[in-house]
Chain A
Amino acid sequence: MNPLWTRSWLECRPRFMMSGLLTAVLALNAVVMMAEGEIAGQLDYWEAMSFILFGVLLPTSALLLAGAGINIQSNSGFTQGLHPSTSFLLSLPATRAQLLFTRAATGGILLLLWILVSFPLLLAIASFLNKPLPPEPLRLLPFLLLAALFYYSLWVLIAARFDEIWSSTIAMTIIGAIAGYSMAGGPGWFNMIAFMKGENGHHQLPQTLFCLAASILFFRLTLTILRKREF
């Protein structure tokens, strides 16, 4: 097996565990909230769970898995002295495209795994608690995967351009802005939560195409940046 896959797995593993832990804590928190009768009466279960899962957990897990890569190990900017192993990594006989591909693919596969576990799990919890759910919730899976691809490719791009402190700050700002907009606004281009719930009206189809095109563009830009960048 190409050693780059092993390295990517070892790098992603603690990040995957962190995203799992975050999901478990927030899911447990939601279950406890729902178990409190008086609070449950004031909350729409599906609205609350979709906000936590789609608006917070999915983009945050994507952020965790997209981080690091080549750039976090660079010795530039604010990461000076943090993980200056870039020179070693880039001195190995592998192209920067190979480095990007193996790392992004590993993180992407783990994000897919996260979705395929956490989404059905939350549906199962809701079913166990006899909470109302939208009809045929699994039909939302393609939208969920596309939104995940959009977020993930955006975070990969940001991680390639900025060190981890800046990329995390920028990403959390974007997550907050999109979540806030989605909570406050109705159907619209940036209502990612409505898109993931399949409730974005006539924007659903163009937003599907937009997510796909933007993801391809982001990965392409990332590759261009990494190829041009001097380390």
Chain B
Amino acid sequence: MTTAPAIEIHALAKHYGKVEALRGLDLRIPQGSLAGLVGLNGAGKTTTLRLLLGLARPSAGHASIFGLPCHSESDSVQIRRRTAALPEQKALFPYMTIAQVLQFTRGFYPHWRDALAQRLLDDFELDPKRKPCSLSKGQLTKLHLVLCLARGADLLLLDEPTDGLDPVATEIALQAMVSLVAESGATILLCSHRLNEIEQVADHLCFIHKGRALLDESLDDLKARARRLVLVFDHPNPAAEAALARHGRFRRDGRSVSLTLFSQNDEVEAEARSLGAVSVQSTPLNLHDLFLEMVKS
């Protein structure tokens, strides 16, 4: 029996006046995965999270979490009972102390994990007596992370969860996310511009560009097929270059040319050799390079 996906988005569109934030987005995040959601500024990442949380209504299409439609208010409450969201803007109530915010949030979630909350407060060195309005940007992010991770939620929607964090706190946060997925089987959708962090923890990648999904697949599969071939020719060979350019993004640098491929490349390597390449070097792409290549192509 197949498990329903944690998040399923089909042909989702969202217009703000004449601005098209999403233009037929399709995504499918499996349960128990730690998925990275990446894209340029204005690609539609935050809009996607807002639609999933029921903060905005779609112009067209459909989004569901655990099979429940996100646009229905009653279903949205059911969804939010099982979901923890870390918003892009990380302000909290200025009239509450950290202890009061924790107590307030705890009241909504029967599976609240006191021990984890206390451990994270200690790790992040947050004083429960302080008010959120007196915290720095990084400390606010830490507090939001405590509020999200301790809820015992089945799904976490995290928008820039390491924003403003120092390297130590970032490591603690990433470790906590991985542990949560491993121990409780929760699903995390991690929206961030810090590609090295996504590469470190994610097992699934969604790449949104101009309101559409360009990628939605396992990160391991993607990294297995996405490679850069560096080819060296004895002399300029325009015919070979033209033939190879149809396989992927092509760039000349003196006698060598590089070819970025997003599909199996054994045949391309063989073709390059047959076209006169004296050296063929295949290297895997890291997520940063992959991102840049996707955007450029």
Contacts and interface: CB of A to CB of B under 8 A. Distances in A.
B93 A11 contact: yes
Interface string B104-115: 111110000000
A88 B87 contact: yes
A127 to B, nearest CB: 38
Contact of A90 (B55, B83, B88): B55
Contacts of A92: 80, 105, 108
Contacts of A85: 89, 91-93
Interface string A203-231: 00000000000000000000000010011
B57 interface: yes
B108 A3 contact: yes
Interface stretch (A93-101, A110-118, A180-188): A93-101
Interface in B114-146: 144
B100 A90 contact: no
Contacts, number: 81
A75 B58 CA distance: 20
A45 B147 CA distance: 55
Interface in A2-50: 2-3, 6-7, 10-11, 13-14
A93 B80 contact: yes
B30 to A, nearest CB: 22
Contact of A2 (B56, B91, B93, B107): B107
Contacts of A231: 50, 55-56
A91 B87 contact: yes
Nearest to A10: B95
A7 B104 contact: yes
A3 B107 contact: yes
A173 interface: no
A88 B94 CA distance: 13
A3 B147 CA distance: 15
Contacts of B54: 90
A6 B89 contact: no
Contacts of B147: 88
Given A11-B93, A94-B77, A87 B55 contact: yes
Interface string A68-99: 00000101000000011101111111111000
B56 A230 contact: yes
A1 B147 CA distance: 20
Nearest to A15: B95
Contacts of A93: 77-78, 80-81, 108
A84 B91 contact: yes
Contact of A75 (B77, B84, B89, B107): B89
Contact of A3 (B55, B57, B73, B103): B103
B37 interface: no
B85 interface: yes
Nearest to A228: B57
B108 A96 contact: no
A93 to B, nearest CB: 4
Contacts of B53: 87, 90-91
A3 B101 CA distance: 10
A88 B85 CA distance: 7
Contact of A10 (B50, B88, B93, B106): B93
B7 to A, nearest CB: 15
Nearest to B159: A87
11 contacts: A3-B104, A3-B108, A11-B93, A73-B93, A84-B89, A85-B89, A87-B50, A91-B84, A93-B77, A230-B55, A231-B56
Interface of B: 50, 53-57, 73-74, 77-78, 80-81, 83-85, 87-89, 91-96, 100, 103-108, 144, 147
Given A1-B107, A93-B108, A95-B77, 12 more contacts: A10-B93, A11-B93, A83-B91, A83-B93, A87-B85, A87-B87, A91-B55, A93-B77, A93-B78, A93-B81, A96-B73, A231-B55
CB-based closest 10 A-B pairs:
A3-B107, A87-B87, A84-B89, A91-B85, A93-B80, A230-B56, A93-B81, A85-B91, A84-B91, A3-B104
